[in-house]
Amino acid sequence: MIHAVALGGMLYVLWLLLSGYWTDGLLLSLGAVSTVLCVLTARRMGIVDREGVPIRQAIRAVTYWPWLAWQVILSNITVAKIILNPKLPISPTLAIVPYTQKTDLGQVIFANSITLTPGTISVDMALDGILVHALEGSGIDDLMEGEMDRRVTAFEGER
């Protein structure tokens, strides 16, 4: 229930921001009706749960996203240097990076964080880890150290 309320509130705020009409009562109520319709549809589809509406993670994102953004900027500069280097010093590497997240949601966040950071992409899920293709071997080494994994597990917040 709390997930449905959170989803509805989020959708209504989105509606307000996109429409820009804050005063007209008729339009506001019509927006509310469409929000409720969307939430009902989502409930019927069975996606209003801890995975579909991650409330806890939304709060924790305040600390995780800035760190991720900084990582993205750092690795962007690294990859840009490689591309602009006339010798193109790449050493593509394929490896399986283990994860410690318990839930599907946490694993998806980890895999997407890997992909979002240039220089490493998650290609597939294997039994014991995420198959990662990296532009350089050092990218894999950084992932293997496990800092991103630890932070995502903390972000996931499941025990």
Q: Which stretch binds another protein (CB under 8 A): 33-41, 48-56, 115-123, 151-159?
A: 115-123
Q: Which of 90, 103, 105, 146 binds another protein (CB under 8 A)?
A: 90
DSSP state of 128: S
CB neighbours of 90 closer than 8 A, spacing ≥ 6? 82, 135, 136
- The residue (of 5 and 126) whose beta carbon lies closer to another protein is 126
The answer to whether residues 140 and 132 touch, using CB atoms and an 8 Å cutoff, is yes
Residue where the block lists tokens 């959170």:
6
Instruction: Determine the interface stretch with another protein among 4-12, 19-27, 36-44, 52-60 (rule: CB under 8 A).
Output: 19-27
Q: Considering only residues 67-86, where is the footprint of another protein by CB under 8 A? A: 72-73, 76, 79-80, 83-84
* Closer by beta carbon to another protein, 21 or else 50: 21
Range in contact with another protein (rule: CB under 8 A) among 1-9, 52-60, 134-142, 150-158: 134-142
Q: How far apart are CA 147 and CA 75, in angstroms?
A: 15
Does residue 100 contact residue 133 with C-beta atoms inside 8 Å? no
**Residue 31 touches another protein, criterion: CB under 8 A:** no
Cβ(130)–Cβ(111) below 8 Å? yes
The reply on whether position 131 binds another protein by CB under 8 A is yes
Q: What is the DSSP letter of 123?
A: E
Would you say 84 and 136 are in contact if contact means Cβ atoms under 8 Å apart? Answer: no
| Residues that bind another protein in the complex, under the rule CB under 8 A | 14, 17-18, 20-21, 24, 27, 46, 72-73, 76, 79-80, 83-84, 88, 90-96, 111-113, 115-116, 118-127, 131, 133, 135, 137, 140
